[in-house]
Amino acid sequence: MDAPSPQFDAYRAILAQHQALDALLARIDRALTERTATTAEVGELLLQLGDRLAKHFATEEDGGYFADALTHAPQLVATANQLLAQHPMMCSRAQELVSAVEISPLAEPDWWEETTRRFRAFRDELSRHETRENVLLQEAYGRDIGSHD
C-alpha cells in the first residue's frame, strides 16, 4: 500500500516520454517504408520529432540531469554525464535531418531512399541513448522500469 514517491513519478514520466518517442519513431519509419504519406507530411513528422526531442531533453535536465537518481547511485555520474553531453549533438542532428529533407534536390524515389537512410541512422543513435538512460535509471533505483509484461 505504499504511495508512489515523487521520484518514482518523475521517472515514470521520463519512461512515458521514451515510449511516446518510440511510437513517433515507429510512425515515421512506417511512413517511409509504406510511402503512403507525402514527402511534405514526412517532413512535418520529422519536425515534430525535433520539437518533441528538445522538450524531452529539457524534461530530463530539469532540476539537474537525473539528479535524484544520481544521489542514489553516485557511481553512475560519469555515465550520466556522457549521456547528457549527447543531447545538444542529437538536437542538431534532428535539425539537420529536417533541413536535409526540406532542401533536398532529389526527386522521388531517391528522396525516399535518402530520407529513410538518414532517418534510420538518427533513430538508431537516439534509441541507443534512450536505452542507456533506461538502464541507468533502472540501476539507480533498482527497479525494473524497462520491462513490459
Q: Residues interacting with Fe ion, by CB under 5 A?
A: 60, 130, 133
Q: Give the DSSP per-residue string, 107-141.
A: PTTHHHHHHHHHHHHHHHHHHHHHHHHHHHHHHHH
Least distance (Å) between residue 41 CB and Fe ion: 26
Which residue's CB is nearer to Fe ion, number 60 or number 98?
A: 60
- Compare residues 41 and 62 and give the one whose CB is closer to Fe ion: 62
Which helix (H) or strand (E) covers residue 96, if one does?
A: helix 77-103
Contacts made by residues 52-55, CB under 8 angstroms, sequence distance 24+? 52/20, 52/21, 52/24, 53/21, 53/90, 53/91, 53/94, 53/126, 54/91, 54/94
> In angstroms, what is the minimal distance from the CB of 131 to Fe ion?
10
Taking the C-alpha atoms of residue 68 and residue 61, their distance in angstroms, rounded to an integer, is: 11
Smallest distance from Fe ion to CB 132, Å: 9
Rounded least distance, CB 31 to Fe ion, Å: 23
- What is the phi/psi pair of residue 128, to 5°? -65, -40
> Min. distance of Cβ 86 from Fe ion in angstroms?
7
In terms of CB distance, is 65 or 119 closer to Fe ion? 65
Q: Please, which residue, 53 or 98, has the CB nearer to Fe ion?
A: 53
Q: Which residue number, 39 or 134, has a Cβ lying nearer to Fe ion?
A: 134
